[in-house]
Amino acid sequence: MNNFNLRPLIIADYDAVYALWQQTEGMGLNDSDTREAIAAFLERNPGLSAVACDTNNQIVGAILCGHDGRRGYLHHLAVARTHRKQGIGRTLVDSCLEKLAALKIKKCNLFLFANNTEGRTFWLHQDWSAREDIVLVQKELKPDKSAPCGCSC
Q: Which CATH number goes with the domain that contains 39?
A: 3.40.630.30
Q: Is residue 146 predicted with pLDDT exceeding 70?
A: no
Q: Is residue 138 predicted with pLDDT exceeding 60?
A: yes
In a domain, 133, yes or no: no
The pLDDT mean for the chain works out to 93
Question: In the chain, which ranges are continuous DSSP H helix?
Answer: 14-22, 35-44, 88-102, 117-125
pTM, two decimal places: 0.88
In a domain, 153, yes or no: no
Host domain of residue 102: 4-125
Give the mean pLDDT of 110-124: 92
In a domain, 141, yes or no: no
Give the mean pLDDT of 93-118: 96
In a domain, 95, yes or no: yes
pLDDT at 50: 99
In a domain, 58, yes or no: yes
Alpha carbon 114 to chain centroid, angstroms: 17
Q: Is residue 41 predicted with pLDDT exceeding 90?
A: yes
The span from the CA of 102 to the CA of 95, in Å, is 11
Total tally of structural domains belonging to the chain: 1
In a domain, 121, yes or no: yes
